[in-house]
Structure 1
Amino acid sequence: MAIEFLIASNVLLWLTLIGCVVALFGITRQVGILHERSAPLGAMITDHGPDIGDAAPKFEVVDYFGKAHRIGGPQPQETLLMFTAPTCPICDKLLPIIKSVSRDENINVFLVSDGQPEDHARFLKSHDLGDIPYIVSAEVGMRFQVGKIPYGVVIDSHGKIRAKGLTNTREHLESLVEGARSGHHSLQDYMKKTGISSIHSNGNGFHAEH
């Protein structure tokens, strides 16, 4: 009788454990869906660092491979600074989009990173950046007061900051570049100028509410 009771209790415990795992999986999936639907369409600006319209800090830098570059000041074309890290998984996912922007948008792109030398070596060994300079500099990030990555800053040909913000997705990065060119510096700026109170997903696209 005791053995039968022990077997029954073990079976019940296993069923309870399996039920908890299934419930946890369902909750995790719903959280992911909610995150996607509530995510902003554009790069979200922060209140730190040089403001939009300010002259960007100027730097004379040398990239990872020893080539000299100038950041800030008058340039032949726009500049996109992408602040990343060699151990950032979101940055890895964005890298193909960053390379596409560099190739197709007539804009100079710099990857600005910080971290341990071995991490940079490992990152560059496994990623082909093409012509994109890879800058290892804590100073550049500190001057722009970048607190979270991946973070993008668009600087126009006159050396003025035109857009900046967190860029966690393709939409964020594309909105950063297009926003700088259209005069909308951020998603918040667009919503303010157009009188939109919120933007959300309805499952078939995005819907704006005034």
Structure 2
Amino acid sequence: MVRLNRREILAGCAALAATSLPAMAADEAHLQFLGLAKPALAIDTPELNIPDLAGKIHQVGDYKGKTVLVSFWATWCPPCRKEMPTLARLSRELGTDDYAVLAVNIGDKPEKIASFLDQIDHEGMPILMDQNSELPSKWFLRGLPVTYILSPSGEVAYGAIGERVWDSPAMVSGIRSIHEAS
């Protein structure tokens, strides 16, 4: 029996979808080009139930009606560190009426997170803390960074494994197309 990891599953889905590009909408091809793939396995509406740096608990249901990016990261992860400012700029670009960008730290202590955040642009983006590392198994995380895009109904619509430039014009356009299609 061959066992595939999540990266291999998502890559396979993108490759399979690429073989049928003529039948696909232009937006779907654009999203695949950006490295966003529909999850190969159905993920029930995921949970958060974790605090932000100020102690406020966040739930997926708090964002009903919005397209939500949930990006999982850690301070020790170089690709995570590199993409964090692009997520903050994306958050500001999209605004908060129809979108939310959440950065979920996995396993770091609040002091370490604060020290890291002092060094980067993170303005306008909630920083959530999963100090006990409970979410990786619930969100199928096998590495970092991983970002999921939730539809306005709270279901996982797309996923991305690895670093992205989230504030590029093409990515902003792609994320807006996800929201408009919902």
TM-score for the superposition, normalised by structure 1: 0.56
Larger relative helix fraction? 1
In terms of Rg, which structure is larger?
1
Alignment match, 1:105: 94
Q: Does 2:158 correspond to 1:163?
A: yes
Corresponding residue to 1:91 among 69, 80, 95: 80
Alignment match, 1:135: 128
Aligned residue for 1:170, secondary structure, equals coil
TM-score for the superposition, normalised by structure 2: 0.63
**Rounded Cα–Cα distance in structure 2 between residues aligned with 1:89 and 1:74:** 29
Structure 2: runs of 5 or more not aligned:
1-31
Q: Structure 1's 171 and 96: CA in aligned 2 closer, same or farther, altered over 3 A?
A: closer
**Rounded Cα–Cα distance in structure 1 between residues aligned with 2:128 and 2:63:** 20
Q: Which moved more, 1:126-135 or 1:154-163?
A: 126-135
Given that residues 75 and 113 in structure 2 are in contact (C-alpha distance below 8 angstroms), is that contact kept between their aligned partners in structure 1?
yes
Question: Pairwise CA RMSD of aligned residues?
Answer: 3.0
Given that residues 56 and 160 in structure 1 are in contact (C-alpha distance below 8 angstroms), is that contact kept between their aligned partners in structure 2?
yes
Amino acid at match of 1:177: I
Structure 1: runs of 5 or more not aligned:
1-39, 184-210
Given that residues 78 and 157 in structure 1 are in contact (C-alpha distance below 8 angstroms), is that contact kept between their aligned partners in structure 2?
yes
Q: Deviations over 1:12-51 (max 9, x none)?
A: xxxxxxxxxxxxxxxxxxxxxxxxxxxx843265967x62
Aligned positions, number? 141
Corresponding residue to 2:106 among 89, 114, 137: 114
Deviation at 1:94, TM superposition (A): 1.2
Alignment match, 2:15: none
Alignment match, 1:29: none
Runs of 4+ with >6 A deviation: none
**Rounded Cα–Cα distance in structure 1 between residues aligned with 2:68 and 2:136:** 15
Deviation at 1:158, TM superposition (A): 0.9
Percent identical residues: 20
Given that residues 101 and 125 in structure 2 are in contact (C-alpha distance below 8 angstroms), is that contact kept between their aligned partners in structure 1?
yes
